[in-house]
Each structure stands twice: as C-alpha cells, then as structure tokens.
Amino acid sequence: MKDPTVFQYLLGTLIFATSMLTVLGKNPVMSAMNLMATLFLTGLMYFSVGAYFVGAVQILIYAGAISVLFIFIVMLLDLKPRYFQIPGRKPVYFLAGGISLLFFVGLIVSVLPALGENGILDFGLIATNELVSGSQTPEAISLRLLSKYMLPFQVTALLLLAAVMGVVVLGKKNKLPESDGGIF
Amino acid sequence: MDQVFAVENTSLLRWIILFPLMGAILNGLILRSKNVKLSGLVATAASAIAFFICLSLVNSYGIFTEDFGQVLDPWFTWFSVGRIHVPFHLEYTPLTGVMLLVITGIGTLIHIFATGYMSEEKSPFRFFSYLNLFLAAMLVLVLSSNLVGVFLGWEGVGLCSYLLIGYWYEDNENTAAGMKAFVTNRIGDLGFFVALFLLAAYVGTFQISELVTIFAGESSPVEGGVILAVLACIFWASTGKSAQIPLYVWLPDAMAGPTPVSALIHAATMVTSGIFVSVRLWPLFASQPAVLDWILWVGMATAWLAALIALSQRDIKKVLAYSTVSQLGFMFVALGVGAPVAAFFHVVTHAFFKALLFLGAGSVIHGMHHDQDMFNMGGLRNKMPQTHATFLIGTLAIIGFPLTAGFFSKDMILAKAFEHGPLAWGLLLLAAVLTAFYMLRAYTLTFWGEARTEHAKHAHESSLWMAAPLMLLAAGALLVGFMETPPILFNVHGLEMAIKASWYGMSGEVVGHHGRHLSHATEWILLLVTSAASLSVAYFSYTKFRDQKSKLSASGFAVELSQNKFYVDEAYQIVFLRPLSWVAARTWKFIDVYIINGTLHVIRDGMRIGGQVLSFAHTGNLQTYAWYFAAAVAIALVFVNWVV
Amino acid sequence: MDQLQFLTAMGITIFGMGVLGFLTRRSGIVALMCLELMLNGVNLCLVSFSHIHGSADGSALMMLIVLVAAAEAALALALFVAIFRQSSSVELDDYRMLKG
C-alpha cells in the first residue's frame, strides 16, 4: 500500500482547520463559509485519489448548492453572532469535548488497525494508489445506480418531490391572523 | 367388547341445533320486534322446523329398533390439547331420538301457547329469543357425542333458565329466584366439572361411546374407583339440574318465571337432563352398583319430601313444582333400582302430562288475571271447560289412572322397585298415594266448588292459541304410555328396545344384580294395589275439597311444617349462607382491600414516582437527546475497545 | 499509515467535529451545518473504501446520501425560516414543547 502524498497531508490539515472553525466560530456566517471550504477541500481529496466524478459532484452540489443555501438563509435571518462559551456552562462543553474525543479515539482505534495489513477489513483486493481502471468513472457509477440500486434511486425521486412540496408549503405566508405568542 | 359399528355420517343433525339458534339470533338481535305475533311466529317456526328435522331423522334411522349402528355428524374439532381431543360431533341414537322428539315437539307446542300467553308483553322478542336459545342449548346437550359438549349444553340450559326465571326482572323476587336457581345449579355443575377433570386425568376420553364400551365392566382399563368417582360427580351434578336433595330448593322458586317457561324448562325438558345423561351412560352406572344405592335413597327422600310439601301449598304453580321434584325423585328411584328404561319412560310421560298441567295452570292463571292462589279460585270448570277437561286428563295421568301415560310409567317403576325389594316399593307406593292426594286437591280446589273471589267469578276461557296446545298435549298424555307396556297388558317394549340399542351393544345389566322376575300374578296384584290405593285416595281428596266454599284455614304442627317447606330454605340460610357471607365480608376486607388493593397502590405509586424521576431526563431540548445518544454510542465504543 | 487509513482517519475526524458541534452549538442552523459535516465524514469513508475495493458501490451510495442531504438541508432550512417567522429565534434552547 502506498503512503499518503504530501498534497493529501496538506489537504487533511486544511480540512481539519476549516471544520474546526465551522464548529467553533462564533459568527454563523463564518461557520457557513468554513463549511463551504471544508466541503470544497473534501472534493479536492476525492480528486487526489482519482475519484474525479465523485469529487465533481461533491463540489457542485455540496460546496456549490448546499453551502450557498446555508449562507443565504443565515443572511436572510440576520442571525447575531453568539459566543461559543456562555459563563456557567463550561462543564457542559468539557463534557461534550470529552465525548467527542471518545468518539474520535474509539473509532480510530477500532477501525484503523482493521484496515491495515492483516486487519480483519483488509481483503487484500487492491493495494495500489492507482485507480483501478474504470471503477470510479461516471459510467460505472451510473450503471450501479441504474441497475443494482435502481429502487433506492427511484425512491430518492419521491423524496425530492416530497421535499419540494414541503418547502413550498412551509415557505408560504401564513394567511391566518397571527395568534398571540406564536406557536412556541 | 369393542364391537365395530356401522357408522353413518350425516350433516343433518347440526341443523336441529342451528335452526333454534338462528331463531334466537333473529329474534333477539335482529328483529327485536315488540309485536308478540311476529316474535312468536319466528320462534315457533324455528322450533317447528327443528321438530320436522327430528321427525325425518327418526323416519330414516329408526327409533324403536333393535339393531342400530351409529349415526354421527362430524361437525368440527372443538379443541385439541395434548392428548385431550374434543371434537364437536353430534350423534343420533334411538334414545336421543325419543328425547329430541319430546324436546322439539313439546317445545313447539309451548311456543304456540306462549304466543297467546305472552300477548300483553312489552318486549316479547326477549322472551322468545331466550326460549329458542334454550332449545338450542338443550339440543346440544342431547345430541353431543362427548361429555364436554354435553357440559356446554348443560351450562347453556342453566343460563337460559336463569334468564327466563328473571324475565320479569323489574320484580325483585323474580331476579332473586333467578339468581338462586343459577347459584344452586352452579354448585351442581361443579360436580360435572370435577367429573370432566377426572376423565381428562385418568381416562383420557370424553366420547360417550368409548366410555360406555371400553370403560364399563371388569375389563375396564382404569380402576373402578375412578369410574365410581366420575359417576358420583355426575350424580352430584344431576341433583343440581334435576332438583334432588339437597339442591332441589331452586326449582320451586323458579316458578317465578312465565308459566310456559315453567312448563318447558322446569318440568318437561331441562330438569330431566340429569336422568337423560345417566341413561346414556347407563352401562357405566350398571358397572358400579355402589352409586346406584345412593341414587335410590336420595331419589326416595326427594320424592317424599317434595310430596309432603306439596300437600299444603296454596299456589297452584308451587304444587306443580313440588310435584315435579317428587316425580323426578321417582325417576331417580327407578335409576337406583337398576331400571333405566322405567326412569326414561317416566321422563317421557312426565314431560307430556307435566307440560300439560303447567300449561293448564297457565291458562287458569291467565283467566284469573295472574292470581295464582288456589284458595281464591273454585268453580272454574264451567267457565273454562277446555282448560278443565285437559287439566283433568293431566291430573289423571300423573296419579296413574289406568291406561293413561302416567299409569304405565309409574307402574313400571313400582314393579321394578318391587323387584329390588319390598321396602323401596312400599315407600314409593306411599309417595305415589301422596301424589294422588295433592293433585286431586289442586284440581278440585281450582275447578270445583263455588267461586271464592271476584276474579274467579269472572274468569274467562283462554284463546285458541292456548287451548290447541293443551288439547294436543292431553292427547299425548293419554297415548304416549303405549310405547312401553307391562307384559300383562299389551306387552309392548318399544322404548326398551330403543334404549338398549343406544348402549353400543352393551347389555346394561347391573353387576351383581339378581332381580327376581315377577310372575304375572304378582304383576297383576301390584297393578291393582297401586291403582286402587291411588284412586281411593284421589277420591277421598276430591270429596274433601269439593265443597270448599269459604277461605280455607290450616292449623296443626304438621301442616305448618309442610306449608313452610320444612324450613329447608331457612336452614340453608343459617347453615350455609350466613357463614358464607360472614367469611366473604371478612375476605373482602382483608384480601381485597388490604392485600390486592394495597399491592396495586404500591405498584401505582412506584410507577408514578418512577415516572416523575424519569421525566427530569425529558427536557424537551433537542440537544439533550443528542447528548444521550452520543453518550450511549461513546459508552458502547469504550466497551467494545477497552472492556471486552 | 497507508492511504486508506489516512482517508478513513480524515472521515472520522470530520465526523467527530460534527458531533462536537451538534452537542454544543445552540443555534439551530449551525447544528444543521454540523449535521452536514457528519454526513460529509461518512461520505469520505464510503468513497475511499469504494476506491480501494475497486467497485462503484460506495460511490453510488455516496450519490444517494448527497441527494438525501440536499433534500434534508432544504427542508430543514425552510422549517427554520418558518419557525423564525413565529418566534424570531432559531436557538434550540428556546424550543421545549416536548418537555415531559
């Protein structure tokens, strides 16, 4: 197996930094911008292993569409910056950090050795950095989607339809007179 | 022993049950008509159709026949648990055929009578629905091929009896009588239950044919003691349903129900079911003579006690009720002396003349505007000629006037008792003489002498609806005795053949029973003595009460005792009911209030407190739930990586 | 450390960041962003497995996840807009209707 390249290390560092800023940034706009950067860099990571089509989809849909939607909504609602830490709630954040760390360490410890040489997940199939010819091409993925995953693919169409209708209904102005105090 | 019978299958039998059942459903659940004519028509039609099916059955399979196989209606499997297999199969035997004709035939007549009798009812559909349901349950009892099915019918007729006694439920006394009947019957039914459990535990079959052919006699694969216990339990159950000492007390009170009910259920059919079941199982009884002795003396005591009480009753229906108890005692005596044919013969004849007497009494009560006190009647023979004539026939039949139905059956019982021993015969003869006395007393007080009240003066004859069944039943009371006559007179043995053909080839001879066969001369003497004694006492009774003009008054210790029914009810009250209610009240306070309620309260409080504690975790904040989730996954990860 | 391990570690890192943010951030919209981060971490793992195994299954699955994520983001954001109209707040702490 091949070691990660320098470029990949660089990407990893950047992804770590931007995702950290997404989580910790006090301004929602900044969070959204960093989210966009994280998604974009993940797309580049796909390119670096040769999954070009997937990378393109990632950048177009995730980084392009979804992040922009976030930024748009944040700006629309004009959210004020909130401090990450509120006095008196410190233990909560430490606890949250602890749990997340446990998550991280637990997953790393349980998954990575299994993926290494002679690990239970090392099937010995492909041990090269190079893309197995044709495995990540648009053609191969489309064939999968339209044959083996036909039913889930069709169901996503229904899901999207439902989402469109839901968004339209939610976005409509409420014609009824405002009740006092709102719904909450 | 296990003879192979020709088994014929038919699906006709189930319709005998289904038609009355459909009638009950149609009347009680669908039509709910307030029109007595419509309800009565539906119920009568259902009953009549069942009667005609029975006729066609009897026609095709025979009834007074010697060689008989088995006619089965394999309907469905009721349940099957482990080695206990209970099919819901119906079975026709000649014995069943006789009983079916009696039930559906007399039942149909009583339905017709009831259509006239219940003409002033507000909700007749309820009455007719119960009546049809009763018929269905009784037919299940009679037709079922196994004892579990018999028990189903047994309980069903008990239920219908309860419903019909309490039919006029606005009256407290009636509901009390209904409950008394129900509870007393339950005590008896416990015996049936025990018998069924014993069979399930030790014998493993409920099929009557198997019980009778395999388990009777010395070659029985189970111990005789088990069979004896089963039979004792069935007899215990019979004392409840067939009103014997000590459980007879419900039957006189059951007269609170409408008179057609008294005629159908509490005289003709249901109360004889104990005897019917015993006759069906006769080879078993015959193989255990010990139980027969108990039956004999319980029956004898009942026949006497009820006859003594009947001597002084004023209510016409009460007299008939006690006479029913007394006649049932006769039937058990017949069983006890080892004469099932005589017992069942008396069941059949009694069904006719007692139904006739009850319906006649009903007609009188109807004419008297629901006054049942005989001392208020008198002189009704001119005002109600049809009722009078038919009631007279019924009276003559029950006292055993020569050549009526009761004459043959009662004579047969007495002859069999004489074969058994002179003591049983003498006691039974005296009981029969008492019967003659109180029946003539009732008849004379009602129909002779002067009218003693205004109601009696203005009594009117009942409509044709009520008179027609009376006449048919009177014909039956005169003629039905000719199906079985003594050797000295006509020598007909139809019923004996029918019953013996229903025992699956078993002889039904009582083990160790060496009955002397009576010579013709002895038979003649017995016959003449019986008739002479009954008729002379009857004549004495007639002359004593014929000219009764004013209100009667009775005095003396014996009369008091008889009028108050020997204080049996009061004694039961003191001996059983009061201690039971005392215990029940204590048990309720201790077990119900403290233990059961207390436990429930503890559980309830625990739940409530636990819920309150746990509801703190339920903050309503989305992130809290995410916290729980993440913490749980983290714990699972730690567990997987470092603990295991 | 080879490439597969590196990519998986990156996926886990992004996922862990998402968890941290979802547990701590009180703004509903930021919590939603953290959700997207978690999905993204999973996607990275899927694609790298798919790539190493030389089959397109994982990538096809990733496509479906992207679809679901897009639908979810659109709907959730619409919901927040509707909620914001009612109560002028998207703070998760302000919604406690489910409190027992």
ipTM: 0.90
Q: Regarding predicted confidence, which is higher, A92 or A14?
A: A14
pLDDT band at B3 (very low <50, low <70, confident <90, very high): very low
pLDDT band at A19 (very low <50, low <70, confident <90, very high): very high
Q: Which residue of C has its CA nearest to B613?
A: C100
CA atoms within 13 A of residue C58's CA, in its CB half-sphere: 18
CA distances from A54 to A44, A107, A147, C42 (A): 10, 25, 18, 14
Binning chain B into helix, strand and coil, the percentages to the nearest 5 are: 75, 5, 25
Q: Please name the member of A42, A51, A77 whose beta carbon is closest to the beta carbon of C51.
A: A51
Taking the CA of residue C59 and the nearest CA in chain B, the distance in Å comes to: 26
Q: Regarding predicted confidence, which is higher, A99 or B67?
A: A99
Question: What is d(CA C97, CA C100) in angstroms, rounded to the nearest whole number?
Answer: 9
Residues in chain C within 8 Å Cβ distance of A144:
56-57, 59-60
List, for residues C56-79, the tens digit of each pLDDT value: 888 899 999 999 999 999 999 888
The answer to whether the Cβ–Cβ distance between B637 and A99 falls below 8 Å is: no
- Read off the pLDDT of each residue in B83-108 and give the average, rounded to a whole number: 91
How many Å separate Cα B472 from the centre of its chain? 23
The answer to whether the Cβ–Cβ distance between B637 and A103 falls below 8 Å is: yes
Residues in chain A within 8 Å Cβ distance of C2:
1-4, 116
Reply yes or no on whether the pLDDT at A84 is more than 60. Answer: no
Taking the CA of residue C12 and the nearest CA in chain A, the distance in Å comes to: 6
- Residue B377: its H or E element: none
Q: Please name the member of C43, C48, C83 whose beta carbon is closest to the beta carbon of A49.
A: C48
The answer to whether the Cβ–Cβ distance between A103 and B634 falls below 8 Å is: yes
Question: What is d(CA B305, CA B239) in angstroms, rounded to the nearest whole number?
Answer: 14
Most B CBs within 10 A among A86, A99, A104, hence the mutation to make, goes to: A99
Reply yes or no on whether the pLDDT at B605 is more than 50. Answer: yes
A46 touches chain C (CB under 8 A): yes
Question: What is d(CA B201, CA B198) in angstroms, rounded to the nearest whole number?
Answer: 5
Q: Which of B103-112, B251-260, B300-309, B458-467 is the least confident region?
A: B458-467
Q: Regarding predicted confidence, which is higher, C19 or B459?
A: C19
Q: Find the chain C residues whose C-beta atoms sit closer than 8 A to any C-beta of B.
A: 19, 22-23, 26, 31, 92-93, 95-100
The answer to whether the Cβ–Cβ distance between A103 and B640 falls below 8 Å is: no
Residues in chain C within 8 Å Cβ distance of B622:
31, 92, 95
- Residue A182: its H or E element: none
Taking the CA of residue C63 and the nearest CA in chain B, the distance in Å comes to: 26
The answer to whether the Cβ–Cβ distance between C14 and A53 falls below 8 Å is: no
List, for residues B297-343, the tens digit of each pLDDT value: 999 999 999 999 998 888 899 999 999 999 999 999 999 998 999 99
The string of DSSP letters for B603-627 reads HHHHHHHHHHHHHTT----HHHHHH
Residues in chain A within 8 Å Cβ distance of B627:
96, 99
Tokens describing residue B496: 């004996």
Q: Please name the member of C31, C93, C100 whose beta carbon is closest to the beta carbon of B615.
A: C100
Q: Which residue of A has its CA nearest to B638?
A: A106
Binning chain A into helix, strand and coil, the percentages to the nearest 5 are: 65, 0, 35
B620 touches chain C (CB under 8 A): yes
Can you list the pairs that C72-76 forms with residues at least 24 positions away whose Cβ atoms lie under 8 Å? C72/A163, C72/C35, C73/A66, C73/A69, C73/A70, C73/C32, C73/C36, C74/A69, C74/A163, C74/A167, C75/A163, C75/A166, C75/A167, C75/A170, C76/C32
Question: What is d(CA B106, CA B275) in angstroms, rounded to the nearest whole number?
Answer: 18
**Quick one: which of A73, A6, A68 has its CA closest to A37?**
A68
Establish, for the pair of chains A and B, how many residue pairs have beta carbons separated by less than 8 Å. Answer: 23
Tokens describing residue B508: 């039904």
Reply yes or no on whether the pLDDT at A27 is more than 80. Answer: yes
What is the share, in percent, of chain B residues with pLDDT greater than 70? 97
Subunits adjacent to chain A (3 or more Cβ pairs under 8 Å)? B, C
Most B CBs within 10 A among C22, C89, C90, hence the mutation to make, goes to: C22
Q: Which residue of C has its CA nearest to B612?
A: C100
A82 touches chain C (CB under 8 A): yes
Question: What is d(CA B212, CA B214) in angstroms, rounded to the nearest whole number?
Answer: 6
Question: What is d(CA B413, CA B340) in angstroms, rounded to the nearest whole number?
Answer: 9
Q: Find the chain B residues whose C-beta atoms sit closer than 8 A to any C-beta of A.
A: 627, 630-631, 633-634, 637-638, 640-641
Q: Is the peptide bond before A87 cis (omega within 30 degrees of 0)?
A: no
Vertex C20: Cα angle to A17 and B614 (nearest 5)? 175
SS3 state at A83: coil
CB-based contact C48:C4 (threshold 8 Å): yes
Residues in chain B within 8 Å Cβ distance of C16:
none
Q: What is the mean pLDDT of chain A?
A: 80
pLDDT band at B455 (very low <50, low <70, confident <90, very high): confident
Q: Please name the member of A99, A100, A110 whose beta carbon is closest to the beta carbon of B641.
A: A110
Instruction: Determine the pLDDT at residue B34.
Output: 86
List, for residues A57-71, the tens digit of each pLDDT value: 999 988 888 888 898
pLDDT band at B1 (very low <50, low <70, confident <90, very high): very low
Subunits adjacent to chain B (3 or more Cβ pairs under 8 Å)? A, C
Question: What is d(CA B483, CA B63) in angstroms, rounded to the nearest whole number?
Answer: 11
- Amino acid B282 reads W
Residues in chain B within 8 Å Cβ distance of A103:
630, 633-634, 637
- Read off the pLDDT of each residue in B111-138 and give the average, rounded to a whole number: 90
The answer to whether the Cβ–Cβ distance between B622 and C92 falls below 8 Å is: yes
Phi, psi of B379 (to 5 degrees): 65, 25
Q: What is the mean pLDDT of chain B?
A: 88
Residue in the structure block whose two tokens are 């990949």: A8
Reply yes or no on whether the pLDDT at B432 is more than 50. Answer: yes
The answer to whether the Cβ–Cβ distance between B634 and A99 falls below 8 Å is: yes
Instruction: Determine the pLDDT at residue A129.
Output: 46
The answer to whether the Cβ–Cβ distance between B630 and C96 falls below 8 Å is: no
List, for residues B557-566, the tens digit of each pLDDT value: 777 778 788 8
Q: Regarding predicted confidence, which is higher, B506 or B148?
A: B148
| Helical residues (DSSP H) of B403-556, grouped into ranges | 405-420, 422-447, 454-457, 464-479, 494-500, 520-546
User: Dmax over Cα atoms in chain C, in whole Å?
Assistant: 52
Instruction: Determine the pLDDT at residue B353.
Output: 93
- Read off the pLDDT of each residue in A118-133 and give the average, rounded to a whole number: 56
Instruction: Determine the pLDDT at residue B118.
Output: 85
Q: Regarding predicted confidence, which is higher, B453 or C98?
A: B453
Q: Which residue of A has its CA nearest to B633?
A: A103
Radius of gyration of chain B (CA): 29
The answer to whether the Cβ–Cβ distance between A170 and C81 falls below 8 Å is: yes
Question: What is d(CA A65, CA B423) in angstroms, rounded to the nearest whole number?
Answer: 113
Vertex A62: Cα angle to A61 and A68 (nearest 5)? 95
The answer to whether the Cβ–Cβ distance between B638 and A106 falls below 8 Å is: yes
| Helical residues (DSSP H) of A78-147, grouped into ranges | 90-115, 138-146
- Amino acid C72 reads E
Reply yes or no on whether the pLDDT at B17 is more than 90. Answer: yes
B626 touches chain C (CB under 8 A): yes
Question: What is d(CA A44, CA A54) in angstroms, rounded to the nearest whole number?
Answer: 10
- Read off the pLDDT of each residue in B182-189 and give the average, rounded to a whole number: 92
pLDDT band at B502 (very low <50, low <70, confident <90, very high): confident
B627 touches chain C (CB under 8 A): yes
Q: Which residue of A has its CA nearest to C84?
A: A77
The answer to whether the Cβ–Cβ distance between A110 and B631 falls below 8 Å is: no
CB-based contact B303:B428 (threshold 8 Å): yes
The answer to whether the Cβ–Cβ distance between B638 and A102 falls below 8 Å is: yes
- Read off the pLDDT of each residue in B122-141 and give the average, rounded to a whole number: 92
Reply yes or no on whether the pLDDT at A130 is more than 70. Answer: no
Radius of gyration of chain A (CA): 22
pLDDT band at B516 (very low <50, low <70, confident <90, very high): low
Taking the CA of residue C13 and the nearest CA in chain B, the distance in Å comes to: 15
Q: Regarding predicted confidence, which is higher, B189 or A171?
A: B189
Residue B588 burial (CB count, 10 A): 11
Residue B297: exposure state from Cβ atoms within 10 A (0-12, 13-18, ≥19): middle
A103 touches chain B (CB under 8 A): yes
Reply yes or no on whether the pLDDT at B2 is more than 60. Answer: no
**Quick one: which of B393, B361, B372, B359 has its CA closest to B465?**
B359
Residues in chain C within 8 Å Cβ distance of A51:
47, 50-51, 59
DSSP B169: T
CB-based contact B71:B92 (threshold 8 Å): yes
Residues in chain B within 8 Å Cβ distance of A110:
637, 640-641
Strand partners, B146: B207
CB-based contact C79:A170 (threshold 8 Å): yes
B172 touches chain C (CB under 8 A): no
Radius of gyration of chain C (CA): 17
pLDDT band at B52 (very low <50, low <70, confident <90, very high): very high
Reply yes or no on whether the pLDDT at C82 is more than 50. Answer: yes
Residues in chain B within 8 Å Cβ distance of A102:
634, 637-638
CA atoms within 13 A of residue C80's CA, in its CB half-sphere: 26
Reply yes or no on whether the pLDDT at A81 is more than 70. Answer: no
- Read off the pLDDT of each residue in C28-52 and give the average, rounded to a whole number: 89
Please tell me whether the overall predicted TM-score, pTM, comes out greater than 0.90 for this model. Answer: no
**Quick one: which of C6, A98, A111, C16 has its CA closest to B641?**
A111
List, for residues B382-414, the tens digit of each pLDDT value: 888 889 999 999 999 999 888 899 999 999 999
CA atoms within 13 A of residue C3's CA, in its CB half-sphere: 25
Instruction: Determine the pLDDT at residue B108.
Output: 94
